[in-house]
Amino acid sequence: MKNHCPKPKTRIFTRLAAGLLCVLVLIPSLALPASADASKPDVERCSAAILYNFENDQTVYEYKSRDRAFPGSSVKLMTALVAFDAFGDNLSAEITVTGAMLAEVTGNSIDFYEGEIVTAEEMLNCMLVNSANDAAIVLAHAAAGSTAAFVEKMNDKAAELGLVSSVYTNVTGMHDPKMTTTAADVADVAKACYAIPGFIDITSQQKYTMPATNISEERVIFNRNAMISKYYSTGYLYDAVVGLNAGATAQGGYNLAAVAKDEESGLTYLAVVLGAEEYEGFYYSYVNGRRMFDWVFDAYGYRPVLTATQVICELPVRLSSTVDFVTLVPKEALYVYLPTAADLAETVKYSYNTIADAMSAPIEAGAEAGSVTVLYEGEIIGAVPLVTTASVTRSEFLYFLDRVTEFTASRFFKGTIAAIVVLSILYVFIKAALREKRIRRMSGRR
């Protein structure tokens, strides 16, 4: 079994860092530079960064996220999107590697052979796990006939996603001064990748075993993302990270697009770092990624802004001889994604309305009687129905009186009384007229 992913050449300071490994293990806090400001992630030594929460579709941190930067290996996320468009329904499609494909390869590669038969799924795994440039080029030729045609599809996809600041000129991320993007655009591409079933499963692999082909025996291919695998770089593993992409170019620096999920809170985040430096033996793409994740898992969460027992108001009760008011509470508790440091007593306000000014017995416990709206710093963050806390029985005597009162106040009753009055007056006038007529007739006879 071959290992087709040799480790990169070791630099002097990396050797020194390895010599201190036992100290770093004993003192974990020294393993990476720590953030100095607890109120935000101390992102530094990079061109741009952005941090996004999936569940609430919310960007929680940005650093120059709209500034143009070189995309580096993040280009392969767009390459993967277009490749999935082409092969998503047929990942088992066979591709024959040609000399024309291999002639275009520069940079990191698996070293495929001319005439080797591979599948689209295998190439996606090689490209996304190991950032293999030859796998990207093979996919491009197979999907569009040439890398140039495939790049056109990448730019079309960028337009479809609304990426106004991204320009693609190749499928691998190898440096081209004309190829630029922004951290915000990379985040949008990563979101689209995250939505593809199975995409995260591919990028979360510490290693991928590519089956033997017609020319090569089985290959073992290791993940280049040091937050997933320590094969290429140690000290950056992050248990919550579930995948995506990492890489570097000499001109564009170190780039990272990582998804991390906290199982306890159920919150999932995307961190993008572009143009990071290598400084004092540390790769600041990973340093900043860790800082952002550490910060956000502590700084944000679901906060209880309403409890199911929280009294919001009271409503007068009619037709009951036992109670005068009924208490209204939220139908259910409301948890909202907010900063954990926010003083809810100061920043959360409530506004409520009821369906009537009073309620009439009988009343069942849990009956909806209105709604309460929750505002955080003046912005509406949720609304919950208001319900009664107790049942209230009706007084039949008060109900009878109420029916009488209601009847006497009704239009029918008032109309009936008015009609009786009018008829009575008419009767009196008619009777008087008849009497006068009779008197005249009797007077005439005399």
* pLDDT, averaged across the chain: 89
Asked whether residue 128 carries a pLDDT value surpassing 80, the answer given is yes
Final residue of a structural domain among 299, 329, 349: 299
Query: Do 126 and 209 lie in a common domain?
Result: yes
Query: Do 369 and 266 lie in a common domain?
Result: no
pTM of whole model > 0.85?
A: no
Gyration radius from the chain CA atoms? 37
Query: Do 384 and 291 lie in a common domain?
Result: no
Asked whether residue 411 carries a pLDDT value surpassing 90, the answer given is no
Final residue of a structural domain among 265, 299, 333: 299
Taking only the tens place, the pLDDT of each residue in 325-343 is 999 999 999 999 999 999 9
56: three-class secondary structure by DSSP? coil
Q: What is the CATH number of the domain that holds 320?
A: 2.60.410.10
Query: Do 164 and 114 lie in a common domain?
Result: yes
Return the bridge partners of 330, or none: 386
Query: Do 112 and 230 lie in a common domain?
Result: yes
* C-alpha distance from residue 383 to each of 187, 285, 302, 352 (Å): 30, 40, 15, 9
Taking residue 68's Cβ as centre, other Cβ atoms within 10 Å add up to 17
Query: Do 356 and 441 lie in a common domain?
Result: no
In a domain, 398, yes or no: no
Query: Do 204 and 100 lie in a common domain?
Result: yes
Strands across the sheet with 207-210, in order?
2-3, 219-222, 207-210
Asked whether residue 30 carries a pLDDT value surpassing 70, the answer given is no
Taking only the tens place, the pLDDT of each residue in 95-116 is 999 999 999 999 999 999 999 9
In a domain, 402, yes or no: no
In a domain, 393, yes or no: no
Query: Do 227 and 312 lie in a common domain?
Result: no
Query: Do 225 and 345 lie in a common domain?
Result: no
Query: Do 338 and 251 lie in a common domain?
Result: no
- Count Cα atoms within 13 angstroms, Cβ side, for 204: 14
In a domain, 172, yes or no: yes
Counting the structural domains of the chain, the total is 3
Q: Which residues contact 128 (CB under 8 A, 6 or more apart)?
A: 76, 80, 199, 202, 203, 245
Task: Write down the pLDDT at residue 33.
Answer: 56
Q: In the structure, what pLDDT confidence band is assigned to residue 408 with cuts at 50, 70 and 90?
A: confident
In a domain, 39, yes or no: yes
Please work out, in degrees rounded to the nearest 5, the angle formed at the alpha carbon of residue 288 by the alpha carbons of 283 and 291.
Answer: 130
Q: Averaged over 393-408, what is the pLDDT?
A: 77
272 in Cβ contact with 183 (< 8 Å):
yes
Q: Are strands 117-119 and 94-96 parallel, antiparallel or unpaired?
A: antiparallel
Query: Do 56 and 204 lie in a common domain?
Result: yes
Residue ranges of alpha helices (H) inside 113-218 are: 120-130, 133-144, 147-161, 183-194, 199-203
Query: Do 268 and 149 lie in a common domain?
Result: yes
In a domain, 401, yes or no: no
Please work out, in degrees rounded to the nearest 5, the angle formed at the alpha carbon of residue 201 by the alpha carbons of 232 and 237.
Answer: 35
In a domain, 356, yes or no: yes
* Domain that residue 102 falls in: 2-299
In a domain, 400, yes or no: no
Final residue of a structural domain among 299, 315, 347: 299
